[in-house]
Amino acid sequence: MKNYSLVTGELSSLADRIDQAEFDKLIDFITTAGHIFLAGAGRSGQMINAFANRLMHLGLDVSVVGEISSPHSHPNDLMIVGSGSGETLRLINQVQIAKKNGVRIALITTAPNSTLAGLADCVLTIPAASSVQPMGSLFEQASLLTYDSIVLTLMENLNETSLSMKQRHADIE
């Protein structure tokens, strides 16, 4: 189907343009973190929610910012933010609070020169700024694929399998 191929073509073209060293740094931040907070707005937020779910399946201590069950932050915690523009005001505000509490910040973005990138300790750039799709669609799709790529690496590092992860999946949903 023509438009499907158009979308997958755009996504495929990004694969070699995401920096391995930035990816590896993010893996290191995740592996050494205490609690992991995840944050994103709109469609970017939907993608980060899916990532939070998989990190939980991996046995990591995670919560989504804004959920009532999300705990107080501490030094050595990590906040992972997904924001294409890097300029979403709510996220800037949340990151500023987190930084005051000694939380390290990781950003997934198309905008390495943005306000959020300037506040982050670790930036993974997805060069998805140019696209035929509307608004942030390419970033949002690519961010989900990037999160699932991170999950594959973490599965290997943490000796997890699909079966071990499934045992942590919510049975009441």
Ligand X SMILES: O=P(O)(O)OC[C@H]1O[C@](O)(CO)[C@@H](O)[C@@H]1O
Residue in this structure with the two tokens 């294409």, named with its chain if needed: 84
48 binds ligand X (CB under 6 A): no
Dihedral angle sign, alpha carbons of residues 89, 133, 126, 39? positive
Considering only the stretches 12-20, 31-39, 59-67, 79-87, report the one whose residues sit in contact with ligand X under the rule CB under 6 A: 79-87
Residue tagged 């905008």 (tokens): 111
Cβ closest to ligand X, residue 36 vs residue 86: 86
User: Which residues in 82-141 contact ligand X (CB under 6 A)?
Assistant: 83-85, 88, 135-136
Letters for 2-41 (x = contact with ligand X by CB under 6 A, - = none) are ---------------------------------------x
With respect to ligand X, which residue has the nearer C-beta, 105 or 154?
105
Find tokens 């500023």 and name the residue: 96
Q: Choose the stretch contacting ligand X; rule: CB under 6 A; options: 4-12, 77-85, 96-104, 165-173.
A: 77-85
Give the tokens for residue 102: 């000694």
Is residue 10 within a helix (H) or strand (E), and if so which, with residue range? helix 2-14
Q: Which stretch binds ligand X (CB under 6 A): 9-17, 66-74, 80-88, 117-125?
A: 80-88
On whether the CB atoms of residues 40 and 146 are closer than 8 A, the answer is no
Residue with tokens 């709109």: 42
User: 140 catalytic, yes or no?
Assistant: yes
Taking the C-alpha atoms of residue 25 and residue 154, their distance in angstroms, rounded to an integer, is 13
Which of 140, 156, 160, 173 is flagged as catalytic? 140
Whether residue 84 contacts residue 114, with contact meaning beta carbons closer than 8 Å, is answered with: no
Catalytic residues: 140
The footprint of ligand X (CB under 6 A) covers: 41-44, 83-85, 88, 135-136
